[in-house]
Amino acid sequence: MTARGWMAAIVLLAAPPASAERIVVQSTTSTAHSGLYDHVLPRFERATGIDVAVVAVGTGQAIRNARNCDGDVLIVHAEAEEEAFVAAGYGIERHDLMANDFVLIGPAADPAGVAGLPIADAMTRIAEARAVFVSRGDDSGTHRAERRLWARAGVDAAAASGAWYRESGSGMGATLNVAVGMDGYALTDRATWATFANRGDHAIVVQGDPSLFNQYGIVAVSPQVCPDGNADDAATFVEWMLGLDGQAAIGSYVVEGQVLFHPNGQADAMPMRSRPTR
């Protein structure tokens, strides 16, 4: 090959792919890592011909990326932040999509003796026992929920940061790996735990408390703020996810006999937009 041929080959290899109809979903990690999207998205792609690219990061980062217009749809689990995102004009409207629950996991020996307690008592007891608790520490949806639970239990966990309270500053899976390695407790969502392979001798110690409810929301990014986005396909996606097909797809994702995400979207609550003609 000539030098010019080599140059052409390099340029060709570096060139971006022809953009098909594609939307970018900025998502929390639990939905992606648990395999939910692998179960749901092929159905959507078959039905509509729209490709969905999922960027799975923590809720905080997902919202920041969406604010930069680097996503067309947001699927996260921090309702207050989602509402703020919409109120600031970045999103069109926030909808409930599905729910599951947080669980407290801990070593089988349960050094703080919290098994079966209400979550607030469990967290108080962990603090009193100064048992190792591994926090996400990354502003994610789970981290926010965890801080809410500490506040409700009246514990200033952050003050013990570096002592028994350890902030991993990383994703859910990495945090669970640390918790397992340190024989510590950690808060996670049921879907992530159910599909997490490196559980060691850890198990769920607290679950079923109403304050452990975990709601996921879906928001389409506003074309007014992000005119270069793919708003039409994003609207199609949100409608589909909230509609019968999407909700049925979510509800039919079962791992080890349990439904990991309970669909609770309300398609009726959604104002139908005028469909663009294609």
**Which pair of structure tokens corresponds to residue 196?**
């997490």
Alpha-carbon radius of gyration of the chain: 21
215 binds another protein (CB under 8 A): no
* Nearest approach, Cβ of residue 117 and another protein (Å): 26
What is the CB neighbour count within 10 angstroms for residue 74?
29
Nearer to another protein, 171 or 265 (CB): 171
256 binds another protein (CB under 8 A): no
* Nearest approach, Cβ of residue 231 and another protein (Å): 13
48 binds another protein (CB under 8 A): no
SS3 53: strand
203 binds another protein (CB under 8 A): no
Nearer to another protein, 228 or 268 (CB): 228
**Which pair of structure tokens corresponds to residue 210?**
């109403």
Pairwise CA distance, residues 235 & 184, whole Å: 42
* Nearest approach, Cβ of residue 21 and another protein (Å): 14
The stretch near another protein (CB under 8 A) out of 84-92, 113-121, 196-204, 234-242 is 196-204
* Nearest approach, Cβ of residue 24 and another protein (Å): 6
* Nearest approach, Cβ of residue 13 and another protein (Å): 4
1 binds another protein (CB under 8 A): no
Pairwise CA distance, residues 197 & 176, whole Å: 10
* Nearest approach, Cβ of residue 248 and another protein (Å): 23
The stretch near another protein (CB under 8 A) out of 2-10, 78-86, 113-121, 139-147 is 2-10
Q: What amino acid occupies position 57? A: V
Nearer to another protein, 33 or 95 (CB): 33
Nearer to another protein, 80 or 197 (CB): 197
Pairwise CA distance, residues 67 & 85, whole Å: 8
- Whether 154 and 122 have beta carbons less than 8 Å apart is answered as no
* Nearest approach, Cβ of residue 183 and another protein (Å): 16
Determine which residue in the list 28, 44, 59, 67 makes contact with another protein, applying CB under 8 A. Answer: 67
226 binds another protein (CB under 8 A): yes
Burial class (CB in 10 A: 0-12, 13-18, 19+), 221: buried
Cβ neighbors of 39 (< 8 A, separation 6 or more) are 249, 252, 253
- Whether 55 and 61 have beta carbons less than 8 Å apart is answered as no
**Interacting residues with another protein between 3 and 22 (CB under 8 A):** 6-7, 10, 13-17, 19
Nearer to another protein, 59 or 124 (CB): 59
Long-range contacts of 60-63, Cβ-Cβ distance < 8 Å, separation of 24 or more: 60/138, 60/139, 60/140, 60/141, 60/143, 61/138, 61/139, 61/140, 62/26, 62/27, 62/28, 63/26
* Nearest approach, Cβ of residue 271 and another protein (Å): 26
Kindly list the residues in this chain that would bind another protein in the complex (CB under 8 A): 6-7, 10, 13-17, 19, 24, 29, 33, 38, 53-56, 65, 67-70, 171-174, 176-177, 195-199, 226, 228-229
